[in-house]
Amino acid sequence: MTAARVTALRDTEGFQHAKDDYWYRPLVFGDNLFSYVAHVPPGGDMPADAEEAEEFELSLFMLGGTLHVTYGQEQLDVTAGDSLFIPRGVAFGVRNDTGEIGSFLLTFTPPPDIRSADELRQRFIEKGRTVKSAAEMAAMVGSSPIPGNV
């Protein structure tokens, strides 16, 4: 049996998804799932990606704020306390049209081929992508109502 490993969100670095304004902090690296908390600042977005949709089944739970979601051909708003199942093959994207940060927990199955935050950081550095320290993430998220955030 594997020893328990607790990850504190307040101590977790942030990774910029791509050339968008969508940041995530990885929490769980498992054999059959991967979970992170995502943050989308006001005006930020992550466009839907049909190719990526073929790889994963997703579970989303909104922690704070409101986001406009692209769910395949549908458009909907999700707000704190809402959950959404995104089956494999359904393109998923988010956009923040509000004045407050939108944050949610996202779980993937199967997980991407990354086994640790250190490995993720190394991949991002090699690709020239942005990684923010835990302190920079706390400053960005500010007083977001996420338990354990600050």
Is 71 inside a domain boundary? yes
Closest Cα partner for 10 from 123, 108, 141?
141
Is 147 inside a domain boundary? no
Q: CA of 108: how far to CAs of 59, 84, 113, in Å?
A: 7, 13, 11
- pLDDT above 80 (res 82): yes
Closest Cα partner for 129 from 14, 27, 31?
14
Domains identified in the chain, total number: 1
What's the whole-model pTM score?
A: 0.89
> At 35, which CATH number?
2.60.120.10
Contacting residues for 35 by C-beta, under 8 A, at least 6 apart: 26, 27, 28, 105, 106, 107, 108
Is 84 inside a domain boundary? yes
In this predicted model, what pLDDT tens digit does every residue of 22-45 receive, in sequence order? Answer: 999 999 999 999 999 999 999 999
Is 65 inside a domain boundary? yes
Which domain does 82 fall in, by range?
Answer: 22-133
Q: For residues 135 and 138, what is the distance between their CA atoms, to the nearest angstrom?
A: 5
Is 14 inside a domain boundary? no
Is 140 inside a domain boundary? no
Is 32 inside a domain boundary? yes
- pLDDT above 90 (res 148): no
Instruction: Dig out the tokens for 19 from the structure.
Output: 């050339």
